[in-house]
Each structure stands twice: as C-alpha cells, then as structure tokens.
Structure 1
C-alpha cells in the first residue's frame, strides 16, 4: 500500500502543486485588495457602524473564497480515480497482495492528503494576512468546514465513480449542485422572502447572531457534530467502493 501511495503522489506531484497554487488565487486577491484599500477605506468610512459593516462583508467574501479553494482542488481528487480507469490495471491490481482494498484505500487517503495540503496552504494565507495587517477575519472555522465538506462530497462521489466510471460520478455531483441551486431559486421565487426585503436589517440580524455567544456555541456544536459524522461516512464509502470496484470495471472504455 505504501508503494501505491508513493506512486499516486509521485505521478501527481506537479498537479498537486499547480492545483494548490490555483486554489490560492482567490484568497490572495482579497488579501491584496484589502491591504491596498485599507487606507482608502479608513478615510471614506464615516462611523463605526459603517466600518463594522464593511469588515463583515469583507469577512464573508474572504470565507467564501477559502471554501471555493476546496472546489478547485476537488477536480484533482477525481483525477486520482480517472487516471487508473483501465481494465488491465483493474484485473492486475486485484490479483496483487495489496488487492482492491489497498488500491481503493490509497485513492481515499490521497484525497485526504490533498485536502490537508489545501488546509495548510489556506492557514498560511491566513497568517500572511494577519502579519501584513490585511482586513480579513479568522476563517479557521470556514477552512475546516470546507475540508470536511469536501470529504463528504468525495464520500458520495467516489463509490459512484468506481461503480459506474468517473463520468457518472461527476454527473451525479453536478446534479446535486444544480438541484441545490434550483431549490434556492425556487425558494426565492415562490417562498417567503420577507426576511430579505430589507437587506440592511437582514445583515444586521446575521451579524448580531454572529456576536451572540449562546448562538455561536450551539452553531459550533452542530457543525462539530456534522464534521464528526463525516469520518464514519467516509469509511463506509470506502467499504462500498471496495465492494463495487470490480463490478464497475466493465464500464471502462479501455
């Protein structure tokens, strides 16, 4: 299994570096923007309320950009499986001592390693922003949430990729994202949107909740419980992928 992991990381070393650097582009943009605009913002802001609103908006954008970084590196996770979609390789690896369990396990482990590299890179960006005095808040919670969210999506996508090929797995992921977007659009068209009628009041409520210690304790507890649940789901996904692997070999084009 160690040899397979070495192969995985060695063959994809350039991709890992390139995708990691690409995922840093958006966070770097907001760091540079806020640093360059810091003096201008201080001069143009009239009161503390307006200053707090600007800081909160910058914080939301910063956290969103950190989460987007995980969407960028998720493409690399899928390529780990795609590059070995060959019948000859599948039958060969199934006959080795490492077997299907080791081969599939390496794919899951490599995905976690890339996710940890992304987390490390984002935390370096966070420390860089703090050291140069850029106006970005601590996004540690958003970064960790993005990591576990990526693991959850992989747990759904990987078994489908092993069973039906990478095209089907990616299609299912696309369907999930599009369905979620459609639900959001339908809600905004026909649902109760009174809470968004006055955006200023809406953001005031959001930021006041963020400052409420009791609400934040409950929110952090729920997020922590959700992240803890991802680990057994990821393991069950691995077991399912092992079971489905040979069944999906016939779907390979080569």
Structure 2
C-alpha cells in the first residue's frame, strides 16, 4: 500500500493564486517538484500549473476572510480576500464538516502563533492537514485574491488603505470571515485580529524552496521588516 502524503499544488487562474493541499495515496511522480525531509517528511510540492479548466468537483465547505496587510519594511499596505475551500471524505456528516472547517480555520489564524508571511501560512496549512486532526478532511484549497483599494471598505469597513507603521509593531489588522457550504449559506459572521507581514510569493520558485527548507529568503525578508 502506497504511503499517504500531503501534496501541495500551486496554481494560477488570472490574478488569483491557488494553493491546493491534499492528502493522497496516489502521487503522480511526474508532477513532483520537491519532496520534503526531516520535520517536513511526507510533504510533497508539485509543479505549478495554470488553471484553464473550471474545477470539476465542488467544495463541501467554503470560508472567506479578508486581510488588510501592512509591510513594515516597505511601508506598503494592501487588502486581499482569501478563500479556504474544504473537501471531505464521502459520508462525512454535516455537523462534522462544519466543525472541522471552523477548527481548521481557527487553528490556522490562532492569534498567538499566526504565520507572519505567506510561506509560514502555507507551511501551517500543510502541517495541519498532515496531522491526525480533522480525520475526515481530505483536501483544502487556499485562494489568494488581491483587492482594489476601492473594494476594501466593503470588506473591512472603517480601516484606512494605508496604515502608519507606528500603529502596531507587528502589523495587526482586523479581518472578518464568512462560512458557507454547498447549497447552503451559513449565518456565521465575526471579526478577529491577526498579524501578518507579507513577502512576495510566486510559487513554486522561491516560496517552495522556503517551505521545504531551501534558501530561506522569504523568512529573512520578513524578519528584517519586524
């Protein structure tokens, strides 16, 4: 029996970056870009693909949230929408889907350990899906969608497009989220506070190397900005 791995496949669809993370026993070795080792053993990064065809399999759950991000190193600010899409094993009951989706998100954006850059965010996704938690969860996609300044107010009302670095040494921002499932909208709204200092992300070249212990350039850039 083939060993189960967690495979990450970066994709681009227009201006949307898509990170697909999946538990699988059927790895296509021809698509493998890099294989993790050490504490990242069992994690595989596939080659980047361009998404020309629509997704054939609808997600079971979807959770959307918006981040207003500030880079202390460059003083640039921007807003982006992020969508977490969840696929579960067949016959997973609805209450379990709701619980696992929310718990995955809650663990991902834990205020005490929230990743401060894209690389850390994706690493957290990989390690969470590799863990024994969320046993019914088989795939999670992250869509990263840049927002125009004019769209920001609708998602995060009351926050300026640009923030002064002095507002917070760790670049703390407000983000709201909304959860929905296939064929049903869930009235689930709240606000949390998370910290994020972005670095450039163009998978798989630089981010993949950092995820699997390569150059470490992204982390170094983020540390300079703190």
Higher helix share: 1
Q: TM-score, normalised by structure 2?
A: 0.27
The structure with higher relative contact order (CA 8 Å, sep 6+) is 1
Name which one, 1 or 2, has greater alpha-carbon Rg.
1
